Structure 1
């Protein structure tokens, strides 16, 4: 399924083109907790940090991502879009660094895109 109706009651269905992926980012870029439970404020200086999101729509040329997959991407290289009052990020498949899904085999190397 390559098209997605994000909210059929408030707008038209959306069909992504080519290798585009529409994702819903996980958590806002506010404060977060470490594995030990320490609160890290949003203003804390850290190295370059990638972000996780859920794929909610994919274009017809996308090969390695399916709807519902979690994808890892660089938040600095994203295009944000608001659809029906919700914030989404539009990516190209080549901008996805990793895919997390039950179908992914632990020893698989993945595809070179």
Structure 2
């Protein structure tokens, strides 16, 4: 399978004045928190407790040794295994490449509970 074309929103990603080292990846989780819809269309509020759950984020910057993701990719990560950093009043997640669980192959219209990699 090939990599999906980058979504048009990649141009809108903020330029981060940080040069990452090694296999570090900087993720933006903006717009990821909040209400979700189940596969059947039921709205799940942000306050609903679902137990351990992986989350989606967008890659904003990558270090020189990162091999499998590029800026603009949507990746699957564990929100419990993360370090948060604030850059220019925005909060980002800093991870190593090995801490990612998957990369979205194609944009989906609904990232509800039915998409598993």
TM exceeds 0.5?
A: yes
Is 1:87 the equivalent of 2:87? no
User: Which structure has the highest strand share of the two?
Assistant: 1
Which residue in the other structure is 2:59 paired with? 55
Matched residue count: 93
TM-score (norm 1): 0.71
Which residue in the other structure is 1:98 paired with? 102
Q: Partners of 1:29 and 1:14 in 2: how far apart?
A: 24
Q: Partners of 1:101 and 1:83 in 2: how far apart?
A: 28
Which residue in the other structure is 1:64 paired with? 68
Which residue in the other structure is 1:107 paired with? none
Deviations 1:79-101 (A, max 9, x none): 11111111110010000000124
Answer whether contact 2:56 2:75 (CA < 8 A) is retained: yes
Larger Rg: 1
CA RMSD of aligned residues (A): 1.9
Structure 1: which 5+ residue stretches go unaligned?
8-12, 103-113
Q: Partners of 1:88 and 1:101 in 2: how far apart?
A: 22
TM-score (norm 2): 0.69
Structure 2: which 5+ residue stretches go unaligned?
1-13, 107-117
